[in-house]
Amino acid sequence: MLIDMTHTITPDIPVYPGTPAPCLSPACTFTKDGFRETLLTFSSHTGTHMDAPAHLLPEGRTLDDMPMSQFSGRATVLDVSGEGPVITEAFLQSNYEAIHTADYILFYTGWEDRWGREDFLADAFPVPDEAAAKYLVSRGLKGVGTDAVSIDRLGDKRLPIHHILMKDSVLILENLCLKKVRGRKDFLFFALPMKFQNTDGAPVRAFAELREAFEAERRRR
């Protein structure tokens, strides 16, 4: 069974402060042209998206330069909705069994429920502190994700968590839909970014493959 973990891009979705809102306008119409095309205008960090190291690091790698294997792997969703504003190294260590086999660690903060509302950008969602970010790097992960707008505090323009992760080529995913996989461990995760030249970040189609659900359905048939 496949579970979509991606928000739909519309003109009124929330965006990171300072990022332009997306625009979807008719380029061709059935009436005028006999077919329909849509002109898409949006930032590379719009909607459910992936940050490449090149987003912040001048010599950082771009997504179009990475192998496809970097964009999929085993994932675990950690429910941090009750942890307060800071995800600590101690909390991560207490979830060692769930983390040590994962390629991707995804944080369910509960902010997905606020999507489309003004309080989605309230700067109170749980984020890792620097010690926790370094611990995540030490696990050799491919990526770290969140259902919130950022893996850093919005008010911290240094973006320390981004820098810690990106210096070790750990990909960052933001604005994920995690409610349907809340608390799940060791499932197959895919986050396929749009490919364009010098990709500093890109919208992704993120989804989970739950093989035990597929096998159960197959047996019922």
pTM of the predicted structure, to 2 decimals = 0.94
Q: Which tokens belong to 117?
A: 């509302």
Q: Which residues contact 127 (CB under 8 A, 6 or more apart)?
A: 85, 86, 87, 146, 148, 150, 151, 152, 153, 161
Q: What angle do CA 18, 190, 194 make, to 5 degrees?
A: 45
pLDDT of residue 215: 47
* Average pLDDT per consecutive 10 residues, the chain (221 residues; last block may be shorter): 97 96 98 98 98 97 98 98 95 95 97 96 97 98 98 97 98 98 96 98 98 54 47
Q: Which of 7, 55, 100, 163 is catalytic?
A: 55
Q: Tell me if residue 55 is catalytic.
A: yes
The answer to whether 173 and 48 have CB atoms below 8 angstroms apart is: yes
The answer to whether 128 and 118 have CB atoms below 8 angstroms apart is: no
Distance in angstroms (rounded) separating the CA atoms of residues 213 and 26: 40
pLDDT of residue 214: 45
Domains detected in the chain: 2-7+43-220 (3.50.30.50)
Question: What are residue 26's DSSP bridge partners?
Answer: 38
